[in-house]
């Protein structure tokens, strides 16, 4: 199975990059499944139904979220009728939407996607490790699903790494989101789970993690807010991760970074030609 995960879309620039590159990536690499984190897609804060539809129509099979999941109030409603949009599973009981879902691709392969949020330097949430364990018990890799992907939306690398090792040999991929900077630690863990601490953002890197520089600089240097954060509007880099998954075991065989456009150096998965 050829799977691609694309990191946090930030604002209009990120959406433009996704719409420009994702259809070509699907065609060039004959991708079997694509997951996109869209929690910053609407002006940097949350996602609207129109944007959700736009991302899905561009070639995403599933959209994950994070701490900005419900910044756009309409998400509280439309997430209930959109099974391809996932919010963190460890939100409190009764939160609208779903934190995991089992998808079937065109080949009939079953892909379980789960979104969880970390607890270190983040809002108080239920235990993400316990949430993942419950999902594994209900739908184990190789029995209930052919691939299991976890988007770990968290601040610290240690919490993300710990989750990667926690599910090593039991999940196909654990990939971090939220910090918007692509890390160089993409690897296949000893038990066969692909891992990267952060996939990076799909946004303008001439910025402060996707936001126009003026307001963050004012707050850091003067400690006085001058207005709201606005997404940077320059040419964006699409950042993500490509994973080759064994169709027999559901574990990762190969993993490589994806970076296209914008200011960062280009990277594409050579093992797919």
Handedness of CA 205, 208, 212, 217 (dihedral sign): negative
CA distance 87 to 201: 18
First to last CA, the chain: 15
Is the overall model pTM greater than 0.85, yes or no?
A: yes
For the chain, domains (ranges, CATH) are: 2-272 (3.60.21.10)
Distance CA 114, CA 208 (A): 28
Contact 141, 172 (CB under 8 A): yes
**How far is Cα 2 from Cα 33, in angstroms, rounded to an integer?**
7
Under DSSP, the state recorded for 81 is G
Strands 173-177 and 194-196 turn out to be parallel
Phi and psi torsions of 239, nearest 5°? -120, 140
Catalytic residues: 68
Question: How confident is the prediction along the chain (273 residues), in pLDDT tens digits per residue?
Answer: 999 999 999 999 999 999 999 999 999 999 999 999 999 999 999 999 999 999 999 999 999 999 999 999 999 999 999 999 999 999 999 999 999 999 999 999 999 999 999 999 999 899 999 999 999 999 999 999 999 999 999 999 999 999 999 999 999 999 999 999 999 999 999 999 999 999 999 999 999 999 999 999 999 999 888 888 999 999 999 999 999 999 999 999 999 999 999 999 999 999 998
Q: Which residues pair with 255 in a beta bridge?
A: 243
């Amino acid at each position: 199975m050829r799977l691609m995960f694309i990191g946090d879309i930030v604002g209009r620039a990120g959406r433009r990059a996704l719409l420009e590159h994702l259809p070509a990536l699907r065609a060039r690499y004959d991708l079997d499944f694509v997951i996109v984190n869209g929690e910053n897609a609407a002006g940097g804060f949350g996602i609207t139904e129109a944007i959700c539809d736009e991302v899905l129509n561009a070639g995403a099979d599933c959209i994950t979220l994070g701490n900005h999941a419900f910044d756009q109030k309409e998400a509280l409603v439309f997430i209930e009728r959109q099974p391809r949009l996932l919010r963190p599973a460890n939100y409190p009981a009764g939160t609208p939407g779903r934190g995991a879902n089992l998808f079937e691709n065109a080949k009939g392969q079953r892909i379980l996607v789960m979104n969880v949020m970390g607890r270190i330097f983040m809002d108080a949430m239920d235990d993400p490790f316990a949430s993942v364990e419950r999902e594994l018990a209900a739908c184990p890799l190789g029995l209930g699903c052919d691939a299991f992907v976890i988007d770990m939306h968290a601040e610290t690398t240690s919490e993300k790494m710990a989750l990667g090792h926690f599910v090593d040999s039991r999940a196909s991929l654990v990939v971090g989101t939220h910090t918007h900077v692509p890390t160089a630690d993409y690897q296949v863990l000893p038990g066969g789970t692909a891992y990267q601490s952060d996939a990076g953002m799909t946004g303008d890197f001439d910025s402060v993690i996707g936001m126009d520089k003026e307001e963050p600089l004012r707050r850091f240097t003067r400690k006085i807010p001058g207005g709201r954060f606005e997404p940077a509007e320059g040419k964006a880099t699409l950042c993500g991760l490509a994973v080759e998954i064994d169709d027999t075991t559901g574990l990762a065989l190969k993993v490589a970074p994806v970076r296209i456009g914008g200011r960062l150096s280009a990277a594409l998965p050579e093992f797919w030609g």
